[in-house]
Amino acid sequence: MSDVYSRAGDAADPPSLSPAYRSTVVRSPSRPLISIPQTLSEITGPVYGHSDVKPEEADLTTQHAGEPLGERIIVKGRLLDEAGRPIPHSLVEIWQCNAAGRYIHVVDQHPAPLDPNFTGAGRCVTDANGNYQFITIKPGAYPWGNHHNAWRPAHIHFSLLGPSFLTRLVTQMYFPGDPLFAFDPIFNSVSDAKARERMICRFDMDTTRPEWALGYVWDIVLRGPATTPLDDDHD
Ligand SMILES: [Fe+2]
């Protein structure tokens, strides 16, 4: 039973210590890891249904009295296992900054406006074919103080629960063609170029709705050779 959900061997994951990404210096383990056997409580997980997660929680543009400022987008894709099989009925959570690059968070005090019509958090449950979909606004770039003139590329944070607590993946989705990729130590802490590409969604005209919103598609693979890299810091 042990290690059925281990991510060890998913070479796409960034090392826990990436010195250019400053907070990893104090956060990464300094001693060898201790292996703990997996038990039933770890290899099972909660089951979410439509009574627990409401469809409107997947629309981040309708949580307040007015609409948020920014570019409305649709983000959708499939949650897959290492064999490309869909993972149905699984919780997908997202959080992001607003169009001006500001989070509603006490630590985020940089001089960009908050949007009273945007909280920046949503969730949904994958359907029988592993599909998820969110409506939101495109997040802005923001400064993060890691080094001189440090700016994060636009990104949306994702938490994927998968079939068990041990398959939970926390990562970030990026947008195609972002000029900040080359300068971002978090994005580049994933050393394999192909693995980095798996963190970038693709623009999709079929998902784009006329007169309303651009569409982006991003499939997420929880394990195996095509796994989506882990990217679990909150910056
Ligand atoms: Fe962020």
pLDDT digits (tens, 9 = 90+) for 38-93: 777 777 766 666 578 999 999 999 999 999 999 999 999 999 998 999 999 999 99
Q: Give the end-to-end CA distance of the chain in Å, rounded to a whole number.
A: 35
Is-catalytic flag, 103? yes
pLDDT score recorded for residue 2: 41
pLDDT digits (tens, 9 = 90+) for 132-169: 999 999 999 999 999 999 999 999 999 998 888 778 88
Is-catalytic flag, 155? yes
Are 88 and 126 a contacting pair, CB within 8 Å?
yes
- CA 156–ligand 1 middle distance (angstroms): 7
- CA 67–ligand 1 middle distance (angstroms): 22
What pTM value is reported for the model?
Answer: 0.90
Q: Closest by alpha carbon to 222, among 230, 212, 213?
A: 230
With a pLDDT cut of 70, the percent of the chain lying above it is 91
pLDDT score recorded for residue 26: 86
Find the catalytic residue in 142, 174, 198, 216. 142
- CA 232–ligand 1 middle distance (angstroms): 10
- CA 155–ligand 1 middle distance (angstroms): 6
Is the pLDDT score of 128 beyond 90? yes
Hey, CA dihedral for 38, 43, 44, 48, is it positive or negative? Answer: positive
Is the pLDDT score of 1 beyond 50? no
Is-catalytic flag, 132? no
Burial class (CB in 10 A: 0-12, 13-18, 19+), 31: exposed
Q: What residues are paired with 75 via a beta bridge?
A: 134, 216
Q: Where are the alpha helices (DSSP H) in 6-113?
A: 23-27, 40-43
Hey, CA dihedral for 183, 106, 158, 34, is it positive or negative? Answer: positive
